[in-house]
Amino acid sequence: MWGGGAGGSRAPGNGRTREGGREPGGGGSAAHIRSHKRRTGRLGPTRYDAIARLWPTVGVDLDGRVLDLASLFGRVAPVVLEIGFGMGEATAAMAQAEPEVNLLAVDVHTPGVGALCHLLEVMGLPNVRVAHCDAVLLLRERVAESSLAGVRLFFPDPWPKHKHHKRRLLQAPFVEHVASRLVPGGVLHVATDYLPYAEQVAQDWDAEPLLQRVGFDAPSRMRPERPSTKREGRAQRGASSITHRAEG
Look up residue 1 and give its amino acid: M
Task: Kindly compute the dihedral angle of the four CA atoms of residues 212, 33, 10, 121, in this order, to the nearest 10 degrees.
Answer: -50
CA distance 122 to 52: 15
162: how many CB neighbours lie within 10 A of its CB? 7
CA distance 145 to 162: 33
CA distance 227 to 199: 23
CA distance 192 to 48: 31
Q: Which is the catalytic residue, given 49, 63, 157, 204?
A: 157
- Report the helix count and the strand count for the chain, using DSSP H and E: 8, 9
CA distance 105 to 82: 5
CA distance 194 to 222: 24
Is 63 tagged catalytic?
no
- The residues that are catalytic are 157
